[in-house]
Amino acid sequence: MQNGQVLRLRYSVAWVDQHPLTWVEGAFPADYEVKGWRLQLGESQLEAWPPTPMGEDEARLALLPILSAWAASLEVEHHLIVTFTYLGAEFEPESAVAGEVRVQATDVWTLAFDATVEVQRGTPPEPSWDWQETPAAAAVREVCLRPLRNGTRPVADAAYWLATHLKMWAGGQSQAASRLNVDPAYFERARQQGARSAERKVSNDSVSLTEQQKESLRLVLEDLVARLYLVESGLTPGERLTLTDWPS
């Protein structure tokens, strides 16, 4: 990495909305002010100006939580996957040519996704900048939510995996339900439907879920993942849910 104060960082940007994505004319650029950073988002490039003088390594480390929250929020809340690829930094002029761009070895912060059908969006959705990406939340998004949405993980298997993960995260099933602000019976129904589904495990007490039950369970899992992110970000997970709130 180069020495000197960073003027701005540059990233390439790629989007997937469960399918190849296009944007309406005029959707970009989009400008944001986040924790002192000035961010300008184009359809294929992000430029980021740090709030205070920083070296390159320091600037990239400072921006990483913002990019992580950005990607997590868009994927969980808006079904939109984004890839940021670091391109390099522009430095404050010293004895070299003013505004010299020094491109560093590229590294990729990427989220892979299979896609076949093109969709179109209007403007980039506003991220929840106060979200935080933690190991517990990232594992749920990458191992459970994403394969559930792209059809590579059956809903029953995703439900069982998520319930097990949340129990480990909270130290028990009742603790998980309490932290997510759902009734223990609500949490248990999600776990049981996953555990007993014939799609996941065939046994004497297996049950076959109807398509409507699978869709209801999928909606419950989506909400539990969002609640996990809110809790991990120090935010309120939402109103308390009971069995009467189970999607029908």
Give 40-82 as a DSSP string: EE-SSEEEEE-SS---HHHHHHHHHHHHHHHHHHHHHHH--EE
Segments of the chain with pLDDT less than 50 = 1, 95-117
Q: What is the mean pLDDT of the chain?
A: 87
Q: Report the alpha-carbon distance of residue 206 to residue 190 in Å, rounded.
A: 15
Sequence-ordered list of residues with C-beta below 8 angstroms from that of 3, at least 6 positions apart, any chain: 55
What is the distance between the alpha carbons of residues 123 and 60, in angstroms, rounded to a whole number? 26
Tell me, yes or no, whether 84 and 143 share the same domain.
no
Answer yes or no: is 89 within a domain: yes
* 158 shares a domain with 84: no
- Whether residue 107 is found in the same domain as residue 153: no
112 and 198 within one domain? no
Residue 57 lies in a domain: yes
**Do 157 and 76 fall within a single domain?**
no
Q: What is the structure's pLDDT at 190?
A: 97
Please check whether residues 151 and 192 belong to one and the same domain.
yes
Is residue 37 in a domain? yes
Do 31 and 105 belong together in one domain?
yes
Our count of domains for the chain comes to 2
CB contact set of 58 (below 8 Å; sequence gap of 6+) = none
Residues 53 and 87 grouped into a single domain? yes
Pair 158, 90 in one domain: no
Same domain, 176 and 77: no
- Residue 119: helix, strand or coil by DSSP? strand
Q: Which of 92, 121, 150 is the last residue of a domain?
A: 121
- Predicted model pTM: 0.84
Q: Domain for residue 1, yes or no?
A: no
Q: Which domain holds residue 175?
A: 135-245
Domain-terminating residue out of 121, 145, 168:
121
Residue 148 backbone class (left: φ over 0; alpha: ψ -120 to 50; beta: rest):
alpha
Q: Is residue 228 located within the same domain as residue 184?
A: yes
Tell me whether residue 24 is in a domain.
yes
157 part of a folded domain: yes
Residue 129: inside a domain: no
Whether the upstream peptide bond of residue 29 has omega within 30° of 0, thus cis, is: yes
pLDDT of residue 18: 66
Question: What pLDDT was estimated at residue 2?
Answer: 54
Judgement on whether residues 50 and 87 belong to the same structural domain of the protein: yes
pLDDT of residue 84: 93
Picking from 121, 145, 171, the residue at the C-terminal end of a domain is 121
CA 163, 169, 172, 174 dihedral sign is negative
pLDDT at 101: 39
